[in-house]
Amino acid sequence: MPRRTVFRRLAHISLDQEMRERYLMTFSSRWLYHHIQHFPMLTSQTLFANQQPLELEIGCGSGEFLCSLAQANQACNFLGIDISETALLQATHLASTLALENMKFVAANAHLLFPLFAPDSLQAVYLHFPDPNRRRKFRKRQLFTPMLLDVISQALSSGGRFSVMTDHREYFLEMLELIERDARFEKTHAERYLSGFDAPVLSRYQRLWERHGLATLRFEVRKRL
């Protein structure tokens, strides 16, 4: 089942203007492409007006996992990016319900946001259950590429973590082989990769795929000191 199909099934949520302004920013792909200089850098100082560490989830969906992190760690800021505004309406509603002061979301094409990641600005990056569409014409949309690793390597602070997980074994092995060839990162675990993920709050995707009997495969690396 394609990831986008999941969100077609979500109930629509309407947000008042105050809630939108507090949590959700929508960046037009056209304006990002032609006028990137007019958009704010994605840093704690710019987004939250403080110097707290910042953690990022690319493809955060409806936000369950990231909001649980934000609720548990008030001394850190969290930013979720997703191309689906429908999913982010769910995420924004959840953040508002939890009254999170350290959470924001951006509705945008993640590829176009790369120039807005400042060097050494991120404590952790999460790429959980990226769309593994294998059709040739969609390959250019895949997120896990050498370009992404270049961006993350620059944006992570020294020792910063990069967590990747998926239920799609073929795609996972491609990502694993690519990260293993990149000397800028080292694994945080002795095993080649890990199976399963026991978090206090599971994302909608993890719950869905595990109900279908698909194992969660993952690895975590850190930026070398």
State yes or no: 82 annotated in a binding site: yes
Residues contacting residue 60 through CB under 8 Å, at least 6 positions apart: 66, 80, 81, 82, 87, 88, 91, 105, 126
Question: Would you give the DSSP letter of residue 49?
Answer: S
75-79 long-range Cβ contacts below 8 angstroms, 24+ apart:
76/52, 76/102, 76/123, 77/44, 77/47, 77/48, 77/50, 77/52, 77/53, 77/102, 77/103, 77/104, 78/54, 78/102, 78/103, 78/104, 79/42, 79/47, 79/54, 79/55, 79/103, 79/104, 79/105, 79/106
State yes or no: 57 annotated in a binding site: yes
Catalytic residue positions? 131
State yes or no: 133 annotated in a binding site: no
Cα–Cα distance for residue pair 7/68, rounded to 1 Å: 20
Residues comprising the binding site for substrate? Answer: 167
Residues comprising the binding site for S-adenosyl-L-methionine? Answer: 57, 82, 109, 131
Residues comprising the binding site? Answer: 57, 82, 109, 131, 167
